Amino acid sequence: NSKHSSECTLNMREWWIHVGLICVPLVAVYLHIPPPHLSATLQKWHSAGDFFHFRGKKIFYRDSYGALGSSDVVLLLHGFPTSSYDWNKIWDPLAQRFHRVIALDFLGFGFSDKPRPHRYSIFEQASIVEALVAHLGLSNQRLNLISHDYGDTVALELLYRSDQNRTGHLNFNSLCLSNGGVFPETHHPRLLQTLLKDSSILATFLTRLTNFLIFQKGVGEVFGPYTQPTDAEFWDMWTSLRYNDGNLVLDSILQYINQRFQHRDRWVGALTATHAPLHMIYGPLDPVNPHPQFIRLYMHLVKRSTVTILDDHISHYPQLEDPTGFLKAYFNFFHSF
């Protein structure tokens, strides 16, 4: 009998060890595991950049002077949940062709400040872009915008302000969009995104419990099977997300999905009404904006835009999955007007 009870105690102890092993990392994450260190490549990106202040918040940006014979300026707007580093594979080729190449990390992303609590909005991000352009002395310069995902929506708000001739608006020379939920009706947010944006109590736990493996799985699903990020690239994305505790503002930032529904007419209207040269670069394997529904609707509604559909296996991050195809499509567009 004593043998039985000692076995029981041993089993209980083993069980507790298991529970402990599961709980320790969860509790540690919940109580703030320090964010991972920047890799050498990410550190280099950070060092090459600068900061400006917007309403007391620090915004990270990069501004490269490139081609001497050109006066063209290109401005890059990144997607969710990543950062300006998404443009790293096309940065140098763009700098060889354009006079200036500029990108920023939106508020709540990358190396920029990530205030909380804070009501993140597409409108504020658009104002940040306008402030950056003014800060760089480019308010009267005709700008070529390239945007992706979340950045597409910011670009559409900027386009709306420009076409309405609002104070402080950008001067558009052209706009090139890429895989983004421009139409709420063909946009399919990932499960985790939906949970985070719509359930406040659950979101508090989820944002703290999201770890590298969950992140890697989630992001991997929106890359094509043959163009998956390397472990180092996944880690860089995760590091810039975790920088300044960015995981804790994901739920607030994700309100943009609801904002797209609320302001659909304003943003889709700007896209259909503008006279600026427009192009869409689209990776067709995108589960977020699926083929062919998304591109059919786009071509139907945005008659003035040209479109490049990349190879069948390219998914939601075309500038990272097929930088060569992306650049080829972009330069073709740029030389067409």
Percent of the chain with pLDDT over 90: 82
What is the sign of the dihedral through the CA atoms of 231, 282, 284 and 154? positive
pTM of the full structure: 0.91
Q: Report the pLDDT value the prediction gives residue 205, as an integer from 0 to 100.
A: 86
More confident residue, 211 or 290: 290
Single-letter amino acid code for the residue at 24:
V
Q: Across residues 124-128, what is the average pLDDT?
A: 98
Band of residue 206 on the pLDDT scale cut at 50, 70, 90: confident
Q: Report the pLDDT value the prediction gives residue 24, as an integer from 0 to 100.
A: 63
Band of residue 63 on the pLDDT scale cut at 50, 70, 90: very high
Q: How far is CA 251 from CA 120, 209, 222, 283, in A?
A: 10, 13, 19, 26
State which H helix or E strand residue 2 sits in: helix 2-30
Mean of per-residue pLDDT scores for the chain: 93
Task: Return the ∠ at Cα 210 (arms to 204 and 215), rounded to 5°.
Answer: 140
Please give the Cα distance from 85 to 119 (Å, whole number).
24
Q: Across residues 42-62, what is the average pLDDT?
A: 98
Residue 313 pLDDT exceeds 70? yes
Band of residue 5 on the pLDDT scale cut at 50, 70, 90: low
| Least confident segment among 186-190, 200-204, 302-306 | 200-204
| Complete edge-to-edge strand list for the sheet that includes strand 278-282 | 50-54, 57-65, 100-104, 73-77, 142-147, 171-178, 278-282, 306-309
Among candidates 170, 172, 197, 175, which has minimal Cα distance to 80?
197
Q: Report the pLDDT value the prediction gives residue 10, as an integer from 0 to 100.
A: 56
Band of residue 260 on the pLDDT scale cut at 50, 70, 90: very high
Q: Report the pLDDT value the prediction gives residue 27, as an integer from 0 to 100.
A: 65
More confident residue, 180 or 14: 180
More confident residue, 17 or 73: 73
Band of residue 25 on the pLDDT scale cut at 50, 70, 90: low
Q: Across residues 54-72, what is the average pLDDT?
A: 94
Band of residue 234 on the pLDDT scale cut at 50, 70, 90: very high
Among candidates 60, 70, 83, which has minimal Cα distance to 144?
70
| Least confident segment among 22-36, 122-136, 294-308 | 22-36
Please give the Cα distance from 292 to 296 (Å, whole number).
6
Instruction: Read off φ and ψ for residue 197, nearest 5 degrees.
Output: -80, -25
Residue 319 pLDDT exceeds 90? yes
The answer to whether 224 and 311 have CB atoms below 8 angstroms apart is no
Q: Report the pLDDT value the prediction gives residue 70, as an integer from 0 to 100.
A: 87
Please give the Cα distance from 138 to 105 (Å, whole number).
18
**CATH homologous superfamily for 40-335?**
Alpha/Beta hydrolase fold, catalytic domain (3.40.50.1820)
Q: Across residues 209-215, what is the average pLDDT?
A: 89
Q: Across residues 249-267, what is the average pLDDT?
A: 97
pLDDT, tens digit, for every residue of 150-187?
999 999 999 999 999 999 999 999 999 999 999 999 99
Q: Report the pLDDT value the prediction gives residue 111, as an integer from 0 to 100.
A: 98
